Amino acid sequence: MIVAAGRGARAGGQMPKQWRPLAGRRVIDWTLAAFAAHPAVGRIVLVLAPQDMGLGESLAADPKITIAAGGATRGASVRAGLEALEGAGTQKVLIHDVARPCISRALIDRVIAALQDTPGAAPALAVTDALWTGADGQVTGTRDRSGLFRAQTPQGFDFPAILAAHRRDDGQASDDVEVARRAGLAVTIVEGEESNLKITHPGDFARAEAIVKEQQMKVRFGNGYDVHRFGPGDHVTLCGVKIAHERGLMGHSDADVAMHAITDALYGALAEGDIGQHFPPSDPQWKGAASRIFLEHAMARVAARGLKVANIDCTLVCEHPKIGPHAIEMRQHMSKITGIEMENISIKATTSEGLGFTGRGEGIAALATAALVAA
């Protein structure tokens, strides 16, 4: 659940901070994208102020997003969002402030992981600065910082428990951890991140933009490797192109060793396993399946994470068939499947100088590398 019903007066500007531009998009767009791209997030409830419902119409077009009207207080808005989830089979819920657009996947992962063992989990940073009390511009005392933390979101909870807690609460709590603790729920602290700032004051927009731009500049790399042995047949399929050969390649699917390696490179760059995890060879529905199904799934996962493929490089290792005469057609076919410009796809081959199983002509090996950047 993303709470976006506040007015954010301290941030200045002519409109609420969640609708203001940030690095080419709106604040709310960055926050939504972070959760929409997470594979563990099945549904998003976006809580908007009643007067902002029109602004959310385009967002509601996404089938993953449900819009709920908020209330006069943060507590009332959260409760409205929770009520919108009742009956949907939700077991765990993350509650996040829309004004934290720099949330990382790693932080979301930590909160979700902690929820496996506790009814509540929330990120926080230990207070390291000295603490003063003051009045009239003068320091009046100090406070012990031991055991003090700066709270962040997303705050995660067992859904039935936090819904019941909000239904009993007076709606005046500072955050959902306070609501949970009033109801007797244990809340585990997970490590927060300095970059997970909450836009509160005018100067925070510049800080958030710098963080977002830095995050978008990060490049992810993945490697893939696959091998298939020769067997009966009159052709091999490589990068979707049929090449006449005295033998075929053996495999559970169509044995396109090149496309398999490239697909695994994409999954690797996403840190989402390999083909076997997404399409188990034990499942008979994938027997003889076209490898483009696997590749298209990997490309969809890249897009869902807000990323795009910068380039792909694949090397085939074999004595025969000769790859060079077919390399351009293979690149063209891969470009058509992935939507990547042909100039960013490299397909090449080498022999192993008669060494090993490829040198003996027993099969073909493929190695691939993929680079992902922000879309």
Tokens standing for 47? 């809580």
How far is residue 367's CA from residue 224's CA, in Å, rounded to a whole number?
6
* Mean pLDDT, all residues of the chain: 93
Q: Identify which of 233, 237, 294 has the alpha carbon closest to the alpha carbon of residue 263.
A: 294
Give all strands (DSSP E) within 233-306, no chain letters: 235-238, 241-244, 248-249
For helices 257-270 and 292-304, give the axis angle rounded to 10 degrees: 20
Q: What does the pLDDT look like over 69-79, one tens digit per residue?
A: 999 999 999 99
- pTM comes to 0.67
Q: What does the pLDDT look like over 215-265, one tens digit per residue?
A: 877 789 999 999 999 999 999 999 999 999 999 999 888 899 999 999 999
Domain positions in the chain: 2-216, 220-374
How far is residue 309's CA from residue 368's CA, in Å, rounded to a whole number?
13
Q: How many CB atoms lie within 10 A of CB 338?
A: 20
First to last CA, the chain: 24
pLDDT at 213 over 90: no
Q: What does the pLDDT look like over 81-93, one tens digit per residue?
A: 999 999 889 999 9
Q: What does the pLDDT look like over 61-70, one tens digit per residue?
A: 888 899 999 9
pLDDT at 306 over 80: no
Check residue 274 and give its pLDDT. Answer: 94
pLDDT at 127 over 90: yes
- Grouping H, G, I as helix, E, B as strand and the rest as coil, residue 37 is coil
Q: CATH second-level architecture of 2-216?
A: Alpha-Beta Complex (3.90)
pLDDT band at 333 (very low <50, low <70, confident <90, very high): very high
Give me the CATH code for the 220-374 domain, please: 3.30.1330.50
- Long-range contact pairs involving 285-293 (C-beta distance under 8 Å, separation at least 24): 286/252, 286/253, 287/252, 287/253, 288/252, 288/253, 288/254, 289/253, 289/254, 290/240, 290/253, 290/254, 291/237, 291/240, 291/253, 291/254, 291/256, 291/259, 291/260, 291/263, 292/240, 292/259, 292/337
